Chains A and B, each alone.
Chain A
């Protein structure tokens, strides 16, 4: 128990005297997770909207796959991306293995099904009368789609929050494809794993506290926005 308290004490000291290395790790984590979340949100919203509003052959299969892939094991995704990007893999010529780009690809693959599937749920929950009302007011099919997405905005925000949770907490996949190279692909979660292995609990704890704080702040902000849309009846 004493070592845990001592660990927390040292961790807080480390946070107070944020050094360049620690800051670098935090910024790299935010950059990689942010880009991955941005890409998975753009693709997820597009696919989620398509499967919600369009009827086409294979639609049910896509929905089933998206739902199934929500629980993709990160290490399996890491292995899959590793095989794709390794020198002998089909995308080996791009020389992306052990780079931040490889980590972004892995995180995007993990977050995309979550964002797409939850966007789909949010959009199909909007009463079709909304789209009909827009059409009756002169909207084109494109404008009808936009108003439907706009009405689903709070649900879509939940999808993004879930995607954020996935990318921020991820360690298995990015460890495999990023290689945990100091100053280049070392992020908060992989550092925590490494420092724990080394028995350097102060740094691991400090990063854990920072990771939790960032996650809490972002989620709290998104939750505040979401609460604004709490009124939900359809007339």
Chain B
């Protein structure tokens, strides 16, 4: 079952500042979509709206599963996820951070343990399982955020500037993780303002300009 996202003519303004002005796009192929644009161009707002964290002022965000429109927001939110630039570390162990999304889905303990191990192994943090999450380095924290998002096995994953606050070494590790996620068949929509990174990762390259998305051929 594949999930398709169609954004139709969405607009969003914050007090005194229009951010998105009739933005449309269709995400229907698997792979990595990279959304570029200068700071403040509305990339993060666009992702937050796509991930259903906030609503647009006008326009529609619709998800289709095998061509059928999904109307249930709660069920839908459990098939997608967004990794925020500041991931929001819960003040507990790495293990318990990862279990959060699984617990609210009501999974059994044995299944949770298996999925957490798989996600931590995927990002190379299996040895940090019992560590207090707030003691991780910036790069490790970002990787834990990816593991937390991956553990729930989302069909579409939105990554908002996932390497903005990490060093070169961790940037490379995170890029490798993103490419591995693509190999697993996920749809990944990522924002960045690093052109070189966009070229390394993108299957499709998009630009945010004047509150609208423009596609650029690769």
Q: Are B86 and A137 in contact (CB under 8 A)?
A: no
With A and B bound together, what is the CA distance between A131 and B87 in angstroms? Answer: 11
Within 8 Å by CB of B105, from A134, A138, A231, A235, lies A138
Query: Given contacts A138-B78, A233-B134, is CB(A147)–CB(B90) below 8 Å?
Result: yes
The answer to the question of A214 belonging to the interface, with a C-beta cut-off of 8 Å to chain B, is no
With A and B bound together, what is the CA distance between A133 and B141 in angstroms? Answer: 13
Q: Which of A202-235 contact B (CB under 8 A)?
A: 229, 231-235
The answer to the question of B2 belonging to the interface, with a C-beta cut-off of 8 Å to chain A, is no
User: Chain B residues near A138 (CB, 8 Å)?
Assistant: 74, 77-78, 81, 101, 104-105, 152
With A and B bound together, what is the CA distance between A149 and B124 in angstroms? Answer: 31
Query: Given contacts A231-B91, A234-B89, A235-B141, is CB(A133)–CB(B84) below 8 Å?
Result: yes
Within 8 Å by CB of B100, from A129, A132, A134, lies A134
User: Chain B residues near A233 (CB, 8 Å)?
Assistant: 134
- Interface size class on chain B is 20 to 34
Within 8 Å by CB of B134, from A133, A139, A232, lies A232
- Interface size class on chain A is 20 to 34
The answer to the question of A136 belonging to the interface, with a C-beta cut-off of 8 Å to chain B, is yes
With A and B bound together, what is the CA distance between A151 and B133 in angstroms? Answer: 13
Q: Are A132 and B53 in contact (CB under 8 A)?
A: yes
Within 8 Å by CB of B149, from A137, A139, A150, A231, lies A137
User: Chain B residues near A150 (CB, 8 Å)?
Assistant: 90
Q: Are B87 and A231 in contact (CB under 8 A)?
A: no
The answer to the question of A6 belonging to the interface, with a C-beta cut-off of 8 Å to chain B, is no
With A and B bound together, what is the CA distance between A151 and B134 in angstroms? Answer: 12
With A and B bound together, what is the CA distance between A151 and B92 in angstroms? Answer: 9
Interface 0/1 of B113-146, CB less than 8 Å to A: 0000000000000000000101100100100000
With A and B bound together, what is the CA distance between A136 and B48 in angstroms? Answer: 9
A30 to chain B, nearest CB (A): 31
Query: Given contacts A133-B84, A134-B100, A138-B77, is CB(A235)–CB(B134) below 8 Å?
Result: yes
B185 to chain A, nearest CB (A): 20
The answer to the question of B174 belonging to the interface, with a C-beta cut-off of 8 Å to chain A, is no
With A and B bound together, what is the CA distance between A158 and B134 in angstroms? Answer: 21
Interface 0/1 of B67-89, CB less than 8 Å to A: 00000001001100111101111
User: Chain B residues near A136 (CB, 8 Å)?
Assistant: 51, 53, 81-84, 149
B144 to chain A, nearest CB (A): 9
User: Chain B residues near A132 (CB, 8 Å)?
Assistant: 53, 84, 88
Residue of B nearest to A128 (CB): B88
With A and B bound together, what is the CA distance between A229 and B89 in angstroms? Answer: 13
With A and B bound together, what is the CA distance between A233 and B138 in angstroms? Answer: 12
Task: Provide a sorted-by-A list of 17 A–B residue pairs whose CB atoms are within 8 angstroms.
Answer: A127-B86, A127-B88, A129-B88, A130-B88, A132-B84, A132-B88, A133-B87, A136-B51, A136-B53, A136-B83, A137-B101, A138-B74, A138-B104, A138-B105, A138-B152, A150-B90, A231-B134
Q: A136-B83, A234-B89 are in contact. List 12 more A-B contacts (CB 8 A).
A: A129-B84, A131-B88, A132-B88, A133-B84, A133-B88, A137-B149, A139-B104, A151-B90, A231-B134, A232-B91, A233-B134, A235-B141
Chain B positions within 8 Å of A, measured between CB atoms, are 51, 53, 74, 77-78, 81-84, 86-91, 100-101, 104-105, 132, 134-135, 138, 141, 148-149, 152
Chain A positions within 8 Å of B, measured between CB atoms, are 127, 129-140, 143, 147, 150-151, 229, 231-235
A-B CB proximity, top 8 nearest: A133-B88, A137-B101, A129-B88, A136-B82, A138-B78, A231-B134, A235-B89, A138-B77
